[in-house]
Every structure is written in structure tokens, then in C-alpha cells.
Structure 1
């Protein structure tokens, strides 16, 4: 029986030095993506991704283009063996790879948008922001603590049951750790990001992205994607540009998105890109659903049973 497949794509924080290098070396399609990214963005994307001495991989304005390029390169290889999806989704930045997979926006425009998005987000709050994953508390408990804090702290991501990411001013986020733990959180994990993403503190980035999106053409695409903002299937008739700009300052409804795709009949999720964060989250959201993770050439063999 044919599988109802969703491709899912990772966001910022999934990056690591050497990501995608084996695909670059072994697949011409992947090499072409890295070379095209470097040309279009006027950045040596290969060096950022592959050179362990290049610290730019952890700077937002470079991280985002590096992860997007790597995920897209791996996606091309997956498509190359005939595996396709019925819906796509990505966590935060990963939503832009989902747009590519669904052919919502042309690749060249997406590269330029991702480059601008990373730049705008870094400029909006260059220092003094932080994010952390709170493990072991309910949504209601986390929201209540955020509301009682004196300062800017917000819900950034609804990742999975018992895992919610908070975002905001660094001093406020760090002051919340002790309170979360006193309320029973098993763990509070600071995230490897450089800003208070998915919060109103990035309003200036949202406004700049709105302007950049004005001249971007939305294709008459067939394969839907799921929006982080509302966890709904998005088609050509939706206000896609508003959703993309709103995404920068809104909570990422990842758990709700996965549940919606399962409700719509998805029975196989394939995480495409660096890391295995989404694979782990999906297994916590629904232990019964099948999930594959493609981040290295050796993982491609797991797709043979799909095709």
C-alpha cells in the first residue's frame, strides 16, 4: 500500500560542521545546489557548512542559508530516487525548505529571501536575546510562568508534549530557569541560537520581510504545506506572504502541525536535512507513526522500501 508521505525540514539549531558534505561529494544534484547557493547569495556556503574552523555557521545571517542549502541539497537527492511527498512542513526556517518542496516560490527567490530573513532577524535583536527548551511542564504551566515574569518572555515553539520553547530577553529567560525548575520542570535547556526568535521583539524584522515579499511571485502550486503560524494546510488561495512575515514574531505550532498531518492521513514522516530533532519530536507526539531521518548518504538506503 502506498504511503501518505510528509517531508519535514529542520530549523535553526540543527546546524553542525560538515553537514551535507557527503551528499556534496557523492551526488551531482547536491553539488549543484551548494554551488548555486554560493553564487546567488554571494557567500561561500560550502565553506560555512564544511569547514570546522568557520564559526559563521552559528551566526544567524549565515546559519539560515547554510541549513536551507543543506536541506534543499538532500531533498534533491531524495527526489532523485523517486520519493515524493503529499504535504510538506518545516520548523521555523525549515518552512522555507517546505516552500521549495511544494514549489510555492521559485528557488532563486527562496535563496534570496532566506538570506534576507537571517540578516533581518540578526539585525532586529543583535545581542541580549535567548531561547530555552522547557522539559516536563504543561503548556498551561509554562504560559502562566511567562505571564508572571517581569520582562519580555514568550512561547516560541510548541514542540511536543512536555517540551515548550521560550524566547525573549536573555536576562529574563535566564531568570525563568529557576522558576520553571521549582514548578517541576525536569530540565531547562538553553538553545544554540543568537536571538529571541518567534517573539514580538523581532517586529522590525517582520516589517522588513513584508517589504521583501512584495515583489515575490507565488506559484500556482499543487502540493500543500503546513504553516507554523496556524498549523493548517496551506494552498494557493491562502495569504502566504502574510503568514511568512507573521511567522517571525509568532509561536511555532509544531505539535499541532504534526497532529493535523496525521489527522489528514499522513502515515510516514521523512525528516530531510541536518540533525534528527524533528524525528525525535514526532515520535514523542505520536509513537505509533513511522518516521525516517535522512541527514547522511548512508540514510538513503532506508528510502528503498518506500519507493
Structure 2
């Protein structure tokens, strides 16, 4: 049984998708479709843009989605997945792989998500920090005791949890967690408090777009970030996708639950740096992770 997993922000790189475009007529068609849907040449930015250009949220999210989704869609020797999952933004690519959303519909939602998150970020300054080497429960308790906004945002793997919130909240939590014995607390170079209550305006904006989109029953289970549980009902998938922006990404729990369901072979689609492969292996070294694209 094989699971396909899709990375989120951080998987971008200059030149992404260019080899796909050059080698596959189907990929070329999908990139042109993406440009038409968005009303600008995403493919040109992906193929020729600088690292700085690709770091802009409005560009980053559609670019990563397009790269992962197209990589999956044009693969000729793909094995039908038993399940799929995506890390944050990657959940949209996973939905395409599972057949719950078609490519242009998912891209429109990703573009709306990116704009909404950028707008929320511009309105309220926030930040994130990675906490290494501390039990999740200690981090949860420390965040809950702070008056400023700061919450667990990404349960990435055993011993790595990202916190998110106001600048003051994250700074205060970082000091407390260092005092509690965290091996390291690393400030992340992001401009927003993703997966925190500060993303509520973005969630409100995205909700209308998701509710209007046509979701189909997926061909396989999709493990979603909000609760790390498998979903197959389109209405339930929508509800969880809406809640995702202000809820933590439960990636550690997702991998553990997939493993408990008998999934031991994973294929990471897209991420050049094998971002998810490293996280999955840290959950359990026995898990096999391959790379596609």
C-alpha cells in the first residue's frame, strides 16, 4: 500500500517545473492552463524568477501547488494511492491527486488562499519559531499560559514543533521554552502567523470560495491536517479545509495514523529538498520514502 504526500511552503526553488515543461506535452498544457487561470505567467516566474520573487506568498503558494500537482498528473508509472496527505498548502495538491478537485479549481482556491493570507499578514504582524528537542505537551502548556497570541502551529515530527502568533507572544514563548530545556528555538523568516488565530480574516475569506467549489468523492482516503484523520466525504473535506488556516498542521500525528493503518511506503511529490521525507523518517526510521519530481 502506497501513500503520496505533498509539501507546503518552503518547497519552492528557482527553475521549478522547467524540466517538466520541456519534457512533457501534458505538463506544458497544464502550465499554460495555470497561466490562464491566474491571469499572469506563473510559469515564467517559476522557471526564471529569483528566490526573492518566489518567496512572495502570492507567488509561492500557486507555484508549489502547480509544481506538485503537475508532477503527479503527468507521471506515467504512477501507482494508484491507497491514501494521500499534504502539509498545509500541500493538502490542495493531495486533493487533486485523490480526484476530489480538478486542477484549475484547486489552483483558484490556492490563489485565493495566498491572497487572503497575505492580506491577513499585512493587517496584523505575526511570526513563527521552530522549537526543537522539547515534548509537545510542554510546548502546549507554555503557550496556553501566555496572554499574547501564541499557539502550536506545525507538529512536524518528533521533537520539532513550530509555534505561531504575535511577535510579542512568540518572543515570550521562545524565552520560556528555552528556559524549559528546548535544544534550540529558531525564529523562522516568515512575515505571518500562519495556522494561528491571527489567520481568522483569511479563513473567513477563503471559506466562501471553498463552499462554492465543486468537490467530488475522492478515489482514496485523504488524511487532513486539522485532525490527522482520513476523510472521504466531500462536505467533511471542505469543513476541514476551511478550518485549516487557524488550526495546527498535525503532520506527526498524520504520519503515525497512516502507519497504524498499514501504510509503510510513502512517495513525496515535488519538494526538491525532500522536505517531508526527513520528517517522516524521524517519526519512524522503518518507513520507506521515495521521491517523485
- What's the TM-score, normalizing by structure 2? 0.94
- Is this contact kept in 2: 1:60–1:194, CA < 8 A? no
Task: Name the structure 2 match of 1:294.
Answer: 292
Task: Name the structure 1 match of 2:150.
Answer: 153
- Is this contact kept in 2: 1:10–1:271, CA < 8 A? yes
Task: Name the structure 2 match of 1:305.
Answer: none
Q: In the superposition, relative to structure 1, how do residues 250 and 151 fare at CA in structure 2: closer, same or farther (>3 Å)?
A: same
- Deviation, 1:8, is 0.2
- What's the TM-score, normalizing by structure 1? 0.89
Task: Name the structure 1 match of 2:42.
Answer: 45
2:16 match: secondary structure: coil
RMSD: 1.7
Task: Name the structure 2 match of 1:273.
Answer: 270
Q: In the superposition, relative to structure 1, how do residues 148 and 205 fare at CA in structure 2: closer, same or farther (>3 Å)?
A: same
Q: Distance in 2 between matches of 1:237 and 1:90?
A: 17
Q: Distance in 2 between matches of 1:165 and 1:252?
A: 9
User: Is 1:285 matched up with 2:283?
Assistant: yes
Structure 1: gaps spanning 5 or more residues: 296-307
- Deviation, 1:237, is 5.9
- Deviation, 1:210, is 1.3
| Range moving further from structure 2, 11-20 or 202-211 | 11-20
Q: In the superposition, relative to structure 1, how do residues 74 and 237 fare at CA in structure 2: closer, same or farther (>3 Å)?
A: closer
Q: Distance in 1 between matches of 2:187 and 2:24?
A: 35
- Deviation, 1:217, is 1.3
Task: Name the structure 2 match of 1:231.
Answer: 228
| Range moving further from structure 2, 197-206 or 230-239 | 230-239
Task: Name the structure 2 match of 1:83.
Answer: 79
Q: In the superposition, relative to structure 1, how do residues 44 and 194 fare at CA in structure 2: closer, same or farther (>3 Å)?
A: farther
Task: Name the structure 2 match of 1:105.
Answer: 101
Task: Name the structure 2 match of 1:167.
Answer: 164
- Give deviations 1:166-198, integer Å, cap 9, x for gaps: 011123323433332222212222334331111
4+ runs deviating over 6 angstroms:
none
Task: Name the structure 2 match of 1:249.
Answer: 246
Q: Distance in 2 between matches of 1:123 and 1:50?
A: 26
Structure 2: gaps spanning 5 or more residues: none
| Paired residue total | 291
